[in-house]
Structure 1
Amino acid sequence: MALRSPIGELAAFAAELTFTLDPFQQQACESLQAGHSVLVCAPTGAGKTVVGEFAVHLARAAGGKCFYTTPIKALSNQKYADLVERYGRGQVGLLTGDQSLHPDAPVVVMTTEVLRNMLYAGSDALQGLSYVVMDEVHYLADRFRGAVWEEVILHLPPDVRLVSLSATVSNAEEFGAWMETVRGDTAVIVDETRPVPLWQHVLVGRRMFDLFDQKSSDQKILVDEDLVRYIKHREEADRMNSWNGPRHRGGPRRDFRPVHRPEMLARLDEEGLLPAITFIFSRAGCDGALAQCLRSRLDLSRDDDHERVAAIIDKHTGDLPRADLDVLGYWEWREGLFRGLAAHHAGMLPAFRHTVEELFVNGLVRAVFATETLALGINMPARTVVLERLVKFNGESHAELTPGEYTQLTGRAGRRGIDVEGHAVVVWNPDVDTSSVAGLASTRTYPLRSSFRPGYNMSINLIDRMGATESRALLERSFAQFQADRSVVGLVRGIERNEGQLRKLRSQIDHDGFLEYMSLRERIAQRERDIERQGRADRRGAAVASLTSLRRGDVVAIPSGRRQGLAVILEPDQSPGDPRPLVLTEDKWAGRISAADFPTPAQPLGRMRLPRHVDHRTARTRRDLASALRSTGITPPGRQRRGTKSKGGEDRELATLRRALRSHPAHARPDREQLARIGERYNRVQRETEAMREKVSAATNSLARTFDRIVELLTDRGYVDEAGEVTGDGRRLARIYTEADLVVAECLRQGVWRGLGPAELAAVVSMLVYESRQETGYLGPAGPTAPIRRAVASTMTVWSELRTDEAQHKLTPTREPDLGFVTGLHKWARGDGLAESLLASGDQGSALSAGDFVRWCRQVIDLLDQIHNTADDVEVAGTAAKAVRAIRRGVVAVDSA
């Protein structure tokens, strides 16, 4: 629709505000009023959302619609409440997947995924849409959900003005240049000034120091001299007083004891630095810190606050089943709140988290121990942010915080309109280098990198809307491709530089056929690696075959690792690819073993009679069976060594290469090894150059190539026909939004889930949603009922066949289904209590937290809703609806925001 000229609307909007617009807000609003789209990058708490609210004002003034999108439901609920307070309930709608309030209102707040789905479905709600606000647009760097933002940006009608709000990123101009190419005229407004100044400190014991010297400037960052001197004196005193002395360089002292949290908070209180958020990068660490404070006499509350605290607690938790309160740790949690203390992390029940958030914002909780998830958008500013460590686990390893992460975490410090200044406090320990802290604190930006990759659902929707040719062109306009094409420039320069280096190295060794000699050495090294790799594969194949042949009651010896010793087979597993029989060891451990536990094939050493039913989950059963196992008199053979050398003699090809090496003229040169060092460098540079060439090849049109491979696979499987049209099965896939979308579509098409009851369907579906926190995932027992076990096996077959196809088409494989939630969700959906369901859920050996349990339940509900709406089979669709009702009870139904 044509936009009415909104001259004077900014003045009207500004007149309604209780504060004066900052320069960047004024500039962004003027650009928006002039008809441009805008990208606003500013620090946390700077007031970016005011620009989004002006877009709402413009849309209403012109009689159009505005969609306000956020990355997570909690933020959508928060923004909905803000806009309702301003415009009234009938004028504002909310769409978050599990909530739908006034969807036809002129202003609708929604999660970004909801808007993406509306665009793919061609929803009538898009009629009259004039503005879209994308809050926290830097989420497009998120590797799990980031693609959604780019999909929306690429698919929105060209006449819709886009207001993109982002944290400060160092490549805002690059992002803005891309927005300009795909959305047209876009103004980029960057502001790096924090509305509340931030002071940086280091806490050493109970002494607080400024991090920066007053003489520091933008050109030269100086660490406070008093801080450096005090740390040096303390370390010297510690060395003198310690019998242990320092551990190896780079590691913490064994005898170092950090300041106790109650002391730390008391010190902050003395300095007037509360309320404070202390970031601890583990859930258990947050709970442990709170427990430490509760064991002390620390009380940060005020007596006249207790009634208000009790009212807010009851508002959020009054509907919790009384029987579950002890399981949830309710009473300890409540005591902490009355003392002004709390933890905040994703493992908590949502009702608990939301209570903490409301109490903190109202100044009724004054100290919170939180994981970094709190830094991602939740409106919980504090006067002070404390960082206990500058290292966190990133999912693969422990890594130092990046400047961007440090900026995001400390961005919570300083409440606009309340605090004159904010404070960031790093707690010192012997691992902390104050110069590194200064570097983190003085680098305030980080680059935005696209995570956009085509998947099955995205591809099928693109083909259905615009055909394969236009879809490919659209992918080539993505920010990911924009960045890839720019990155090629640097790679080409690197290739040219390396080629010059290769010419120089070649001139030093290109005589007596020395390059040919180095090639032989390289081929020998590669052949040795291939033989070792093949040996590992052969050993694994033998181990797999031996495990599939084991029977119930067989006694085997686990040759190495933590479970080394005798074990009896409780449940055999004949799965050909990755058998995981259930065993009980002589040390009373029960669990599943795999081929990784057997460097040599497993051989039965004897047999043991077992009771008909063995409940390995009970301690008594494990103890009795372990005792019986030890009394069999069977003794394990000597410990096997991994990677024992084959007795088959030397590899023929390797022997030929070694003979050629020894007979080569260069082998007799006296300076052979000196030249070989140059040759090795030559080979290394050559490998680097080839790798860069491959990257250039992969970067150019990389997304389009991936899309073509996906289309080939979907065509082979009948989701797209030979003419390039989407089939009926393809349209079902287009309405399934989950990481395992194609597995779900295949299971529905093949009728894999027919004949299951509601609790059984919920349990089986969970394996496509749930993801264990441990690195390798959890296969677990195959399921508590025969129908579940059959459906699990069939679902695994569907996934395995898809994985084979993906390998053939050179596509990233779909994540393996995870059985860690099957038994627990089955218990819950059939009506069992919370305690039993939690114990039966999660990674092997550890129950799920209540918060994780609720989160996974709601994700299963979301997928069951999709199955209900997309399944052609009336029985499966009806069962899915019943399963949703069975799960949505008790803690899962309470405070579902």
Structure 2
Amino acid sequence: MATEDDLFDVFDGEVPDEDEEPTMEVETKAARPRSTSNDSDEPPAKAARSEEEGKQESGQSPEEQDEQDAGRAEELTSEVTHESYPSGDNCLHECILPANWAKDKRLPKYEGEPAKTYPYTLDRFQSEAVSCLERSESVLVSAHTSAGKTTVAEYAIAMSMRDNQRVIYTSPIKALSNQKYRDLADEFGSDVGLMTGDVSINPNASCMIMTTEILRSMLYRGSDVCREVKWVIFDEVHYMRDRDRGVVWEETMILLPDTVRFVFLSATIPNAREFAEWICRIKHQPCHLIYTDYRPVPLQHYVYPSMGDGVYLTIDEKGKFREDNYGKAIEVLEKNTEQASQSTKGLKSNKKKQQQHTKNSDLLKVVRMCSDRAYMPVIVFAFSKKECEQNALVLRNIDLVTQDEKALIGDVFENAMATLSPEDRELQQIQSMLGFLSRGIGIHHGGLLPILKEIVEILFQENLIKVLFCTETFAMGVNMPAKTVVFTSVQKWDGIERRTLNSGEYIQMAGRAGRRGKDDKGLVIIMLTDKVEPNTAKEMFLGDASRLDSQFYLGYNMLLNMLRLEGVDPNYLLERSFSQFQKDKGCIAAKEKNAELSHKLEDATEELNKVTSEASKKMNFDVKMALTDAFQADQDLDNAMEERRKIITLPKYAIPFMNPGRLISLAKDGDWAMVIKCDKLADDKGAADIENSYVVDCIDEEGVVRSVPLRSLHKISRIRGQLPQAVQEPHNRTEAVKTQCKNMLKAILNHDNFKAHGLPELDPINEMKIDSEEFGEVAKKIKNAENAKLSNRLMTVPEAERSQLMDLFTKRVHLHEEQTKCADIIKNQNAVILRDELRSMKRVLRRLGFIDRNNVVLEKGKLACEISSCDEILITELVFNNVFEGMSPEHIAALCSCLILDEKSEDATTPDNADLAKALDKMKVIAQDVATVMAECKVAGVDTSTYVEDHIRPQLVPAVVAWMEGKPFKDIMQTCEMYEGSVVRVMRRLEELLRELGMAAKLIGHKELEEKMVEGRTKLRRGIVFSASL
């Protein structure tokens, strides 16, 4: 266990050698070594108090707090220097460095003895990165998949070994850590080690591989490794935008000493410069940005319209969007869809079957085309596990491998199966997978057993799998490109709505096409079943990759660990987070805009005062007061008219009038169009959203067919035009037909009577039959506002002069509103993020006895510090409320599984065992008490009505007990509705929780619980659930 002093050594920098470039020391605010004398100026309890409590004690006012926040923002957004270096085509090289950094403006190419040589010439971006490493300066390399970023990481490791320095290589997930350990051990030999939660291989090696979570834990514990390390490599740093785990990356980067140098490897991110600047500011050192959009293998993107006969080149290898080809594909899609719709008209069940049959037929056509044209191997993406398997079944009668390849597949499969027991080999999932693999077809998703995913990965890398059906997560995993990538759809359900893929998602998956050194080009085929507008498609194909935006949030484990380190203010993390930096950057722009608005407002006020003063004398009444009243009347009228619009566009009133040819207004001041048809959205989410479920297809004054929500219409006219019948069918909407519609609409709008008086609207009462108290109230508001306008004394002023006065007044009002909003933004952005959340969370910890009133971490808090696999507050409350007292290891583990499971399921039965059922009920009561405390302390996002069901999911309780009692996995799965792989993942995470809980029990001296956790892990770790990696 680390000593007291060790806990703080992690923040102390190594003393630089005389010939090493100077670095700034970490600010003393970050962490102060614990005092060993008794004459300290400041008692430890006070040193550990949070910043805002210190302010309260000193009587600091909110204004003073705002001023201090502004000063902090100024400090962390202080001046830095941006330098650019010539770096040739397809490579951008910049350096962000502190303004006072002693630097050599020239960045010469490194000419010394290389730490590592390669059998090929390095690309420009690789050689630029190597030069930065040899200068002992941090570097962010942002490049496409397969561009060769790993070369930079390998060089950093070789350089560290040459210079007798230690290097840490972090990866996003444990599986990638294991794979990277094998790869680097093959490359660098025995001086490579691996650290996971339960495995430690060669911990004294120069190069250590670990997940970011392990590095974070080591930092909080003051590990020797963290004191000795010179370089830290963050692979796949774009994982920092992960909603759940991204915060760990941020936390780790902030906590590492300033003497550490970084290698960040990332997919292309549009705000890479912003990230590099953040690193420069918080670590007080230069950070180079090397960015390339070069693809070693160019991509061609094709569209296959449903039921079509071929594919259409939409994006060529130069990145040009072929709008004509895309238009042809959409025409084919619309024509085929209309014909299919006619054949199943009125038969809802037949329509669904027909759609599925069409989709299967399309997939078969695309795969056969790829096979015939030597476009294999192919990765086929789907957006659910179920769809993945359904797609694979479409190829049930297709064999894609030779007899020799079948033999090789069989050998790999049998060798892998030899590690399993005979009964585990009989699992349905294993037998089904063998049937697919033997024909060159693979499946890869989170529900598969880990050993099956590994087999699929091995066979795919050996080119023995010709078609791989997988989910989106495959694109984020190990680097396994293919010749061709196929999208079965570009629509996905994101948990809230069904939407088109954004450009970042599309780029990530499409980037798997094209194998360096094997293919001259990669192919991407999009199977289009629904029409996607050209602009939307173009944005998806050619838009920016996803930004790297902070996902920082406060966790109780983070807060307790910070409080445990005396002298470390939790605000230290908040202030230096990437989230705060992005907010502060926005503040600078807001301040500039605010200054500009203040000048404009001052000028506008001066002009208005001058003009109204003169007008008041001339007209003998207070013109400014009259302008104020007139402006208010206009506002009241606008608000009332908006209420009216919302009523007349309700489906129950508007639908009967959405007949073909009806003139409708799409904007407040016109923008007229003619209705073609009105349809209800297919994916209606139920009656609650019925008002927003209708879309109107219409043709506007430019002859453009538009789809707009019914509820967005502004006016419905009494006038109807006679549309040509052809416009009703999408495939018949030729340019001639659209021109005919356009001319008819223009003729109506240009009619003398309508030009003079406007188009007559439907009468809401007499024609639309709206008879409600609400509409009567709205009509009264409209009349009152109109009367107020007419009775205003400004109506006696000539129209031109009145209009000029109103324009001046309105301009001044709008400037004032804009400036007020801007000032509010500055005030909010100056404040430290999550300050209120921090205060609320501390209240929770005090109420529950995790810390005392002086923020000293108590026994409960020490236990919670060790837990990162589940809700640390809830599991600690269970321990200290003796829920596990007298229970067997099997039952404790089963209850703990309730806190691990993250998949919702309808199967939430009560355990058969009476003791387990009673303990589960007690867990729920404690969880509800915790939720109540959090709600009373005003912790954001806590819903007391759903907290228990969100945090306690007992679906796997019977399975865990049965497994730990020695029952076969096959028998357990017969009564479990979850995927085999999902069950294994939960049990592996459960084992990690038991390990953490055992360590925590040891820390607080709970011997009985510690022994039960050791026994529980022993019983859990067996068979296929914990089969060794291949």
Query: TM-score band, normalised by the shorter chain?
Result: 0.7 to 0.9
Q: Which residue of structure 2 aligns with residue 26 of structure 1?
A: 127
Q: Which residue of structure 1 aligns with residue 74 of structure 2?
A: none
Could you tell me which of 935, 942, 945 is aligned with 1:807? 935
Q: Equivalent residues in 2 for 1:351-500 (5 A)?
A: 351-433=451-533, 435-467=535-567, 470-488=569-587
Equivalent pair of 1:317/1:894 in contact (CA under 8 Å)? no
- State the secondary structure of the residue aligned to 1:412: coil
Relative distance call for 1:667 and 1:489 in structure 2 (3 A) is farther
Q: Which residue of structure 2 aligns with residue 882 of structure 1?
A: 1015
Q: Equivalent residues in 2 for 1:218-297 (5 A)?
A: 221-223=320-322, 225-229=324-328, 231-233=330-332, 235-236=334-335, 239=338, 243-244=342-343, 257-258=358-359, 259-294=361-396, 296=397
Distance 2:784 2:329 in 1: 62
How many Å apart are 1:880 and its aligned residue?
1.7
Distance 1:262 1:243 in 2: 24
Could you tell me which of 218, 222, 233 is aligned with 1:118? 218
How many Å apart are 1:235 and its aligned residue?
3.6
Relative distance call for 1:493 and 1:798 in structure 2 (3 A) is farther
How many Å apart are 1:761 and its aligned residue?
0.7
- State the secondary structure of the residue aligned to 2:552: coil
Equivalent pair of 1:244/1:255 in contact (CA under 8 Å)? no
Distance 1:83 1:692 in 2: 52
Distance 1:76 1:420 in 2: 31
Q: Which residue of structure 1 aligns with residue 76 of structure 2?
A: none
Q: Compare 376-385 and 424-433 and name the one that shifted more.
A: 424-433
CA RMSD of aligned residues (A): 4.0
Distance 1:334 1:744 in 2: 41
Equivalent pair of 2:116/2:158 in contact (CA under 8 Å)? no
Q: Which residue of structure 1 aligns with residue 924 of structure 2?
A: 796
Distance 1:884 1:506 in 2: 79
How many Å apart are 1:828 and its aligned residue?
2.0
The answer to whether structure 1 residue 861 and structure 2 residue 861 are counterparts is no
How many Å apart are 1:478 and its aligned residue?
0.8
Distance 1:485 1:293 in 2: 54
The answer to whether structure 1 residue 41 and structure 2 residue 142 are counterparts is yes
Q: Which residue of structure 1 aligns with residue 872 of structure 2?
A: 741
Distance 1:510 1:56 in 2: 73
Equivalent pair of 2:392/2:441 in contact (CA under 8 Å)? yes
The answer to whether structure 1 residue 770 and structure 2 residue 901 are counterparts is yes
Q: Compare 13-22 and 90-99 and name the one that shifted more.
A: 13-22
How many Å apart are 1:455 and its aligned residue?
0.9
Q: Encode CA deviations 1:422-445: one digit per residue, 9 max, x unaligned.
A: 111111224344553333222242
How many Å apart are 1:827 and its aligned residue?
2.2
Distance 1:10 1:112 in 2: 34
Q: Equivalent residues in 2 for 1:185-224 (5 A)?
A: 185-204=286-305, 205-212=308-315, 221-223=320-322
How many Å apart are 1:27 and its aligned residue?
0.9
Q: Compare 120-129 and 451-460 and name the one that shifted more.
A: 120-129
Q: Equivalent residues in 2 for 1:36-75 (5 A)?
A: 36-75=137-176
* Greater RCO (CA < 8 Å, at least 6 residues apart): 2
Distance 1:100 1:143 in 2: 29
Could you tell me which of 244, 250, 269 is aligned with 1:144? 244
- State the secondary structure of the residue aligned to 1:399: strand
Distance 1:453 1:336 in 2: 43
How many Å apart are 1:795 and its aligned residue?
1.9
Equivalent pair of 1:772/1:820 in contact (CA under 8 Å)? no
State the AA in 2 paired with 1:827.
A
Q: Encode CA deviations 1:358-392: one digit per residue, 9 max, x unaligned.
A: 00001111110000110113121111111111111
The answer to whether structure 1 residue 830 and structure 2 residue 968 are counterparts is no
Relative distance call for 1:362 and 1:747 in structure 2 (3 A) is same
The answer to whether structure 1 residue 104 and structure 2 residue 204 are counterparts is yes
Q: Which residue of structure 1 aligns with residue 723 of structure 2?
A: none
Relative distance call for 1:747 and 1:228 in structure 2 (3 A) is same
How many Å apart are 1:825 and its aligned residue?
1.8
Relative distance call for 1:665 and 1:471 in structure 2 (3 A) is closer
The answer to whether structure 1 residue 758 and structure 2 residue 924 are counterparts is no
State the AA in 2 paired with 1:229.
K
Distance 2:256 2:626 in 1: 58
State the AA in 1 paired with 2:914.
A
Relative distance call for 1:229 and 1:140 in structure 2 (3 A) is closer
Q: Equivalent residues in 2 for 1:430-579 (5 A)?
A: 430-433=530-533, 435-467=535-567, 470-488=569-587, 510=629
Equivalent pair of 1:116/1:152 in contact (CA under 8 Å)? yes
Structure 1 unaligned residues grouped into runs of 5+: 526-560, 563-656, 676-682, 842-846
State the AA in 2 paired with 1:820.
Q
How many Å apart are 1:306 and its aligned residue?
2.7
Q: Which residue of structure 1 aligns with residue 56 of structure 2?
A: none
Relative distance call for 1:61 and 1:15 in structure 2 (3 A) is closer
Distance 1:801 1:684 in 2: 49
How many Å apart are 1:493 and its aligned residue?
8.9
- State the secondary structure of the residue aligned to 1:66: strand
Distance 2:817 2:428 in 1: 56
Distance 1:692 1:757 in 2: 61
Q: Which residue of structure 2 aligns with residue 314 of structure 1?
A: 414
Distance 1:857 1:673 in 2: 72
How many Å apart are 1:337 and its aligned residue?
1.1
Distance 2:291 2:316 in 1: 28
Distance 1:506 1:29 in 2: 70
Equivalent pair of 2:891/2:916 in contact (CA under 8 Å)? yes
The TM-score, its normalising length taken from structure 2, stands at: 0.66
State the AA in 1 paired with 2:926.
V
Distance 1:506 1:30 in 2: 70
State the AA in 2 paired with 1:306.
K
- State the secondary structure of the residue aligned to 1:109: strand
How many Å apart are 1:418 and its aligned residue?
1.9
- State the secondary structure of the residue aligned to 1:163: strand
Equivalent pair of 2:973/2:980 in contact (CA under 8 Å)? yes
Q: Encode CA deviations 1:87-108: one digit per residue, 9 max, x unaligned.
A: 11x2111112233211221111
The answer to whether structure 1 residue 703 and structure 2 residue 834 are counterparts is yes
Distance 1:245 1:896 in 2: 51
How many Å apart are 1:243 and its aligned residue?
2.6
Q: Which residue of structure 2 aligns with residue 573 of structure 1?
A: none
Equivalent pair of 1:9/1:58 in contact (CA under 8 Å)? no
- State the secondary structure of the residue aligned to 1:46: coil
Q: Compare 198-207 and 280-289 and name the one that shifted more.
A: 198-207
How many Å apart are 1:309 and its aligned residue?
1.5
The TM-score, its normalising length taken from structure 1, stands at: 0.75
Distance 1:235 1:156 in 2: 57
- State the secondary structure of the residue aligned to 1:201: strand
- State the secondary structure of the residue aligned to 1:17: coil
How many Å apart are 1:406 and its aligned residue?
0.5
Relative distance call for 1:84 and 1:685 in structure 2 (3 A) is same
State the AA in 2 paired with 1:208.
V
Distance 2:166 2:843 in 1: 39
How many Å apart are 1:486 and its aligned residue?
2.9
Larger radius of gyration: 2
Equivalent pair of 1:10/1:29 in contact (CA under 8 Å)? no
State the AA in 2 paired with 1:341.
I
How many Å apart are 1:260 and its aligned residue?
4.0
